[in-house]
């Protein structure tokens, strides 16, 4: 398979490795991007990729929490340009879809699209999106959502960077004032540190085995003796858990505390246990590669029309 400059550039962006190292890895992986990332990591040339892909698509991530605080939703609505992402109609559509999802019981994007829209029940959600596509002349996609339902405790949201990152977190506990304070702190933590799991027990076994194999190969490539390799693998796995598991991360506001210890301290203050029920973090365009247009060619297309 021919390795293109664009492929090399994407791999470099995702791993931070050098251009030649990226080209060699892609050649060895026969163009398979994920395999090339593994090869670079095994050689110690790339850090663990915490995200599935580069951030490229435009649009918004949006949240909504009902007035009683018992239901919430976090959604992503994509478009082609930042110009449209800032359009008042597009922003309103994103907000209304988030509200719709919070009140809906649909389980998939397809089911949501076929429901009567909460903002105008004479049309479906899909119809509302199609109408705005026609009005603004740009393709749009309702990509994903997560719904939160709380019989007790609190649901809190946080949006960073004008709709670039959105977080929703649900906590259980008795003291609502302290719960809200803690939920806000955790939302900031999740936005900044991007945990993938709540605890190490939540990390799938196949993910752990894949990480261990990468660490083992790294140690072999570093020329470490066989008798110390397993200890090195275990040490690096512990470090991995501290990076990707929320409860094991260091609190961004106090590096002497893990999130688990912070929760224990706040639980004592509240007089009852505070626990994390679930959390979701969406980053706009995560894993989507944006089509790159050649500006000069685009101008010529317009001239020839």
For the chain, how many structural domains are there in total?
2
pLDDT score at 111: 97
Where among 166, 189, 224 does a domain terminate? Answer: 166
Where among 144, 166, 188 does a domain terminate? Answer: 166
- Cβ-based neighbours of 204, under 8 Å, separated by 6 or more: none
pLDDT score at 289: 57
Residue 304 pLDDT class (50, 70, 90 cuts): very low
Domain interval for residue 37: 1-49
Alpha-carbon distance values, 41 to 112, 137, 214, 240, 243 (Å): 39, 42, 7, 13, 16
Gap between the Cα atoms of 105 and 118, Å rounded: 13
Together in a domain, 42 and 72: no
Together in a domain, 41 and 70: no
Together in a domain, 154 and 100: yes
| Average pLDDT estimate for 200-206 | 94
The mean-pLDDT minimum among 34-43, 84-93, 124-133, 142-151 falls in 34-43
pLDDT tens for each residue of 90-142: 999 999 999 999 999 999 999 999 999 999 999 999 999 999 988 888 888 99
Asked whether residue 282 is domain-assigned, the answer is no
Beta bridge partners of 117: 120
Q: Residue 3, SS3?
A: coil
pLDDT score at 117: 97
Kindly report the CATH number assigned to the domain that includes residue 113. 3.30.479.20
pLDDT score at 290: 54
Residue 293 pLDDT class (50, 70, 90 cuts): very low
Together in a domain, 40 and 67: no
Together in a domain, 33 and 95: no
181 touches 171 (CB < 8 A): no
Together in a domain, 27 and 100: no
Alpha helix ranges (H) inside 16-108:
19-28, 33-42, 82-85, 88-103
**Percentage of the chain surpassing pLDDT 90?**
62
DSSP H/E element including 157: strand 154-160
Asked whether the predicted pLDDT for residue 30 surpasses 70, the reply is: yes
> Which of the two residues, 228 and 111, has the higher pLDDT score?
111
Together in a domain, 5 and 28: yes
Gap between the Cα atoms of 274 and 171, Å rounded: 7
pTM for the full model? 0.75
Kindly report the CATH number assigned to the domain that includes residue 4. 1.10.8.10
Rg (CA), the chain: 23
Q: Report the mean per-residue pLDDT for the chain.
A: 87
pLDDT tens for each residue of 166-177: 999 999 999 999
Asked whether the predicted pLDDT for residue 256 surpasses 50, the reply is: yes
pLDDT score at 1: 78
């Amino acid at each position: 398979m021919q390795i293109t400059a664009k492929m090399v550039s994407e791999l470099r962006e995702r791993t931070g490795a050098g251009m030649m190292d990226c080209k060699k890895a892609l050649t060895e992986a026969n163009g398979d991007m994920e395999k090339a990332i593994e090869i670079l990591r095994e050689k110690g040339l790339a850090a663990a990729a915490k995200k599935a892909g580069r951030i490229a698509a435009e649009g918004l991530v949006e949240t909504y929490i009902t007035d009683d605080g018992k239901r919430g939703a976090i959604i992503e609505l994509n478009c082609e340009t930042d110009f449209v992402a800032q359009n008042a109609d597009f922003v309103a559509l994103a907000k209304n879809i988030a509200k719709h999802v919070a009140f809906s019981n649909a389980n998939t994007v397809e089911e949501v699209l076929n429901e009567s829209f909460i903002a105008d029940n004479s049309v479906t959600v899909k119809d509302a999106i199609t109408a705005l596509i026609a009005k603004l002349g740009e393709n749009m996609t309702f990509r994903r959502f997560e719904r939160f339902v709380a019989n007790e405790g609190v649901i809190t949201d946080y949006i960073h960077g004008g709709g670039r990152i959105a977080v929703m977190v649900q906590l259980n506990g008795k003291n609502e004032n302290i719960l809200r304070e803690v939920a806000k702190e955790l939302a900031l933590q999740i936005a900044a540190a991007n945990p993938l799991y709540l605890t190490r027990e939540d990390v799938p076994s196949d993910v752990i085995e894949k990480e261990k194999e990468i660490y083992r190969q790294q140690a072999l490539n570093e020329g470490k003796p066989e008798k110390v390799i397993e200890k090195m693998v275990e040490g690096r796995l512990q470090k991995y858990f501290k990076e990707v598991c929320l409860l094991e991360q260091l609190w961004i506001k106090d590096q002497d505390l893990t999130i688990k210890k912070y929760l224990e301290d706040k639980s004592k203050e509240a007089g009852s246990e505070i626990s994390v029920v679930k959390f979701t973090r969406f980053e706009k365009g995560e894993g989507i590669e944006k089509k790159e247009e050649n500006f000069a060619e685009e101008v010529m297309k317009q001239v020839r029309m």
